[in-house]
C-alpha cells in the first residue's frame, strides 16, 4: 500500500507539474528606460535573453520630453521586434501585441497642463482600449495598465473615471493573477518618494501585486499582503535612496536592470536581474500564502 500511495503521489505531482508548465507565461518588466544609450541596450539584451512572451513597461518610455523625433530611437531601436503594428525604421515589428507600455510623466512632456503631450506616444503605439489605460490578458495573468500622470483627462485619484474603470475591470476579471501596472509609485523610498494619490485600494479590488517605476531604483515593499515593486533602473539614470519606508523589504541601486515574471495557475515568481545577469531579488506567491526568496 505504501508503494501504491507513493506512485499515486508521484503521478499527481507530475500531472500538476505538466499542467502548470503548459500554462506558464513569462514576461519582462522595464521602467524609466527610454534613453538611447549603452544601459538601455544592455538591459534590452538582458530581457531578450529570457525569450519573454511579451514585455511590459512601467513608464518613461521616451525621454526627456516625449517628442515624436526621439520616440523611435528611444524605444523602437531596442524593442521593434516586440512592437505590434510597428512603423519605425529599425526593422520588422511584431504580428501580435507583445510590447505593453504605460505612460510616464516624460511621455507626457514632463510638464503639467499639457493636454497634447502624449500625442507622439499614442501615434506610435497600437494598444487596447483608449491606449492611455487598458487591460491585457495572457494565460493566467491579467495586467491593468494605468496612466498616473496628472495630465490624464480621466483623472488619477481613487474616485476618478479611470479608477472606476480599473475597479470594475479588476473585480470582473477571472484571471488567477491580477496586476496593476503604473508609473508613479504609490510607495517608494527613492528620491521622488511615494505618490500618495496613487494609493488606490488595489488589494480590495483583487490585486496580487503592483508594478511601478518613476524612482530610478529597484525596491520591493510589502503593503498589507500585497507586494509593491519599484522598477526604474531601465536605462536613464540611477537614483539614491532617501527616507526608507517601513514597508520596504529590499532596495537596490547598484546597476541597471529589469524584472522577469513567470506565472502559472499554481504560482507567480518575480525576479530582478541587473544588466550583468546577476539575480538581485526573488519573490514568489504560491496561491494565497506569501513566500520570499533568498533576498527577502
Task: Count other C-beta atoms under 10 Å from residue 173's C-beta.
Answer: 16
In a domain, 19, yes or no: no
Under the banding of pLDDT at 50, 70 and 90, the label for residue 135 is very high
SS3 content of the chain, % helix, strand, coil (to 5): 25, 25, 50
Kind and range of the H or E element at 211? strand 210-213
pLDDT at residue number 23: 83
Rounded-to-integer distance, Cα 144 and Cα 83, Å: 18
In a domain, 97, yes or no: yes
Task: Count other C-beta atoms under 10 Å from residue 243's C-beta.
Answer: 9
In a domain, 181, yes or no: yes
The tally of domains found in the chain comes to 1
- For the segment 18-66, what is each residue's pLDDT rounded down to a tens digit? 344 458 999 999 999 999 999 999 999 999 999 999 999 999 999 999 9
Under the banding of pLDDT at 50, 70 and 90, the label for residue 133 is very high
pLDDT at residue number 287: 76
Between 294 and 34, whose confidence is greater? 34
In a domain, 120, yes or no: yes
- For the segment 199-256, what is each residue's pLDDT rounded down to a tens digit? 999 999 999 999 999 999 999 999 999 999 999 999 999 999 999 999 999 999 999 9
Report the CATH number that the domain containing residue 207 is assigned in CATH: 3.60.21.10
What is the average pLDDT score of the chain?
Answer: 92
Name, in order, each residue with C-beta under 8 angstroms of 18's C-beta and a sequence gap of 6 or more.
none
Report whether pLDDT(177) > 70.
yes
In a domain, 271, yes or no: yes
In the chain, % of residues over pLDDT 90: 89
In the chain, % of residues over pLDDT 70: 90
Answer yes or no: are the C-beta atoms of 117 and 153 closer than 8 Å. Answer: no
In a domain, 11, yes or no: no
Edge-first strand order for the sheet with 267-274 is 99-100, 54-57, 25-30, 257-263, 267-274, 279-286, 290-292
Rounded-to-integer distance, Cα 294 and Cα 296, Å: 6
Report whether pLDDT(292) > 50.
no
Report whether pLDDT(7) > 70.
no
pTM of the model: 0.90
In a domain, 136, yes or no: yes
pLDDT at residue number 22: 52
In a domain, 1, yes or no: no
Query: Structural domain of residue 179, as residue ranges?
Result: 24-292
- For the segment 145-164, what is each residue's pLDDT rounded down to a tens digit? 999 999 999 999 999 999 99
Amino acid at each position: 500500500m505504501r508503494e501504491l500511495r507513493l506512485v499515486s503521489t508521484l503521478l499527481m505531482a507530475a500531472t500538476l507539474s505538466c499542467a502548470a508548465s503548459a500554462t506558464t507565461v513569462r514576461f519582462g518588466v522595464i521602467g524609466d528606460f527610454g534613453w538611447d544609450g549603452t544601459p538601455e541596450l544592455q538591459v534590452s539584451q538582458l530581457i531578450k535573453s529570457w525569450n519573454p512572451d511579451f514585455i511590459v513597461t512601467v513608464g518613461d518610455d521616451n525621454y526627456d520630453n516625449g517628442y515624436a523625433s526621439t520616440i523611435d530611437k528611444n524605444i523602437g531601436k531596442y524593442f521593434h521586434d516586440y512592437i505590434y503594428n510597428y512603423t519605425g525604421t529599425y526593422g520588422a515589428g511584431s504580428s501580435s501585441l507583445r510590447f505593453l507600455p504605460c505612460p510616464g510623466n516624460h511621455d507626457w512632456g514632463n510638464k503639467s497642463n499639457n493636454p497634447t503631450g502624449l500625442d507622439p506616444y499614442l501615434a506610435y503605439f497600437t494598444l487596447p482600449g483608449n491606449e492611455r489605460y487598458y487591460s491585457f490578458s495572457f494565460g493566467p495573468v491579467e495586467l491593468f495598465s494605468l496612466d498616473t500622470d496628472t495630465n490624464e483627462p480621466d483623472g488619477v485619484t481613487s474616485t476618478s473615471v479611470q479608477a472606476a474603470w480599473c475597479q470594475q475591470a479588476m473585480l470582473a476579471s477571472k484571471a488567477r493573477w491580477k496586476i496593476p501596472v503604473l508609473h508613479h509609485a504609490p510607495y517608494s523610498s527613492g528620491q521622488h518618494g511615494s505618490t500618495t494619490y496613487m494609493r488606490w485600494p488595489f488589494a480590495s479590488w483583487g490585486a496580487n501585486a503592483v508594478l511601478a517605476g518613476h524612482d530610478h531604483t529597484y525596491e520591493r515593499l510589502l503593503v498589507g499582503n500585497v507586494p509593491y515593486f519599484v522598477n526604474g533602473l531601465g536605462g536613464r539614470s540611477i537614483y539614491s535612496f532617501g527616507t526608507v519606508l517601513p514597508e520596504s523589504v529590499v532596495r537596490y541601486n547598484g546597476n541597471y536592470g529589469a524584472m522577469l515574471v513567470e506565472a502559472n495557475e499554481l504560482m507567480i515568481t518575480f525576479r530582478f536581474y541587473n544588466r550583468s545577469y546577476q539575480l538581485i531579488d526573488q519573490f514568489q506567491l504560491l496561491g494565497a500564502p506569501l513566500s520570499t526568496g533568498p533576498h527577502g
